[in-house]
Amino acid sequence: MQTTDSITFDPSLYNRATHWTFLLYEQNGVSLVIPLPNANVMSFIRPFNNTVQCQQFAEANLQKMITLFVWDDNMKDWLNRVTNIPVSLHEIKIFCNSNDQPFLDAWLQRYINRYTTVTFEIIPYEELNYSLMIFGIAHLKKLHADFQQNSPLYPQLNRNYKRICRALANYFWNEANTE
């Protein structure tokens, strides 16, 4: 089974892009295994399993526009450690147990007004694989502007885009044929 640990970031392709995607899932103590059946097509995601390292990396790359997918407990730790969010973070998508979503909605209301340059979204962890694929399609389309068509990296970006499209097509096929 593929999980968040199965994501392998491709720095040779995505480091030069203007938009980055991080996934932070630091597991402390007994933790939940989050299945990501399509982790093998998510090389555009830089995974982190340490909140401090993720914070430092975002702070060191202020010229980038970063979308952060983050486990709810890790986001709470992040905001308890610092009083600000780096300007490089434009979107924060918090994934959580679906039972915790009402509590997380209320908790997040305290922070939304403080961080007006960031958009927040809450995702049940059961939908993380799907959400990452949907996000990945739009994200990789956006990255096409960072690479000229005659660049040797452009075909790889296009192949990765098509791999996510095929994975999402398979996802929908399976959903459509589930009794």
- pLDDT digits 0-9 by tens, 95-110: 999 999 999 998 888 8
Q: Are 38 and 106 contacting, i.e. CB atoms less than 8 angstroms apart?
A: no
Question: Half-sphere exposure (CA, 13 Å, Cβ side) for 160?
Answer: 26
Helix (H) or strand (E) holding 67: strand 65-71
Question: Tens digit of pLDDT for each residue in 8-26?
Answer: 999 999 999 999 999 999 9
pLDDT at 147: 92
pLDDT at 30: 74
pLDDT at 41: 98
Show the low-confidence residues of the chain (pLDDT under 70).
Answer: none
pLDDT at 2: 94
> What are 38's two structure tokens?
């399509």
Closest to 137 (Cα-Cα) out of 175, 117, 164: 164
pTM of the model: 0.95
Which DSSP category does 39 fall into? Answer: G
